[in-house]
Every structure is written in structure tokens, then in C-alpha cells.
Amino acid sequence: MQGIYLKFYVQENRRHHGILAYEWLLEEARKLGIHGGSAFRAIAGFGRHGKLHEEHFFELAGEKLRLFYIKVPLEMGVVGSEP
């Protein structure tokens, strides 16, 4: 089966229209009929400028909700037999 892997990086406490950004993204994905979504918390990382960020990866610019994302084509499937 073919699909797309789409990943957004948002700061944990950022909001969009008063809703946490990751909750808003998951709800919008559900409304669009996307079959799954998850939110994960990062411990630390660095962005394109090489600056270390702890507890989050990228910062959003206020309510304009500027998002960094990754979009990769993928092949998915299931291995093994059902019990």
C-alpha cells in the first residue's frame, strides 16, 4: 500500500485559535479523513540554525501558525498472519 508520511514540529505549549497546536492539527487531520495521527514529545533537538532546543524542537510565530513539516512518500503494509 502506498501513502505519505507527514510530520509537523510544534512547540508543546503553542496555541492556534486558543487550542493547543498539536490538538488542532490532529483534529483537522481527523476531519479530513486521515486514518491516523499521533503527537510525541521531544526531549531535545536542534533546527536549521544549529541552536539546541530543549523540551521542544521549533518555535511558532504567534497565532499565524507557521509550521515546519516533513513529507515523505512511503510504502506500508503488515507482516505476519493474524492470530
Query: Are 41 and 12 within 8 A, CB to CB?
Result: yes
Neighbours of 14 (CB within 10 A): 19
Query: Does position 60 have pLDDT exceeding 70, yes or no?
Result: no
Identify the pLDDT of residue 31.
93
Task: Report which of 71, 47, 49, 68 is spatially closest to residue 57, judged by C-alpha positions.
Answer: 47
pLDDT, tens only, 12-54: 888 999 999 999 999 998 999 888 888 887 777 777 788 876 6
The domain segmentation of the chain, as residue ranges, is: 2-75
Instruction: Give the pairing type, strands 19-20 and 15-16.
Output: antiparallel
Which is higher by pLDDT, 56 or 80?
80
Identify the pLDDT of residue 56.
42
**For residues 58 and 45, what is the distance between their CA atoms, to the nearest angstrom?**
9
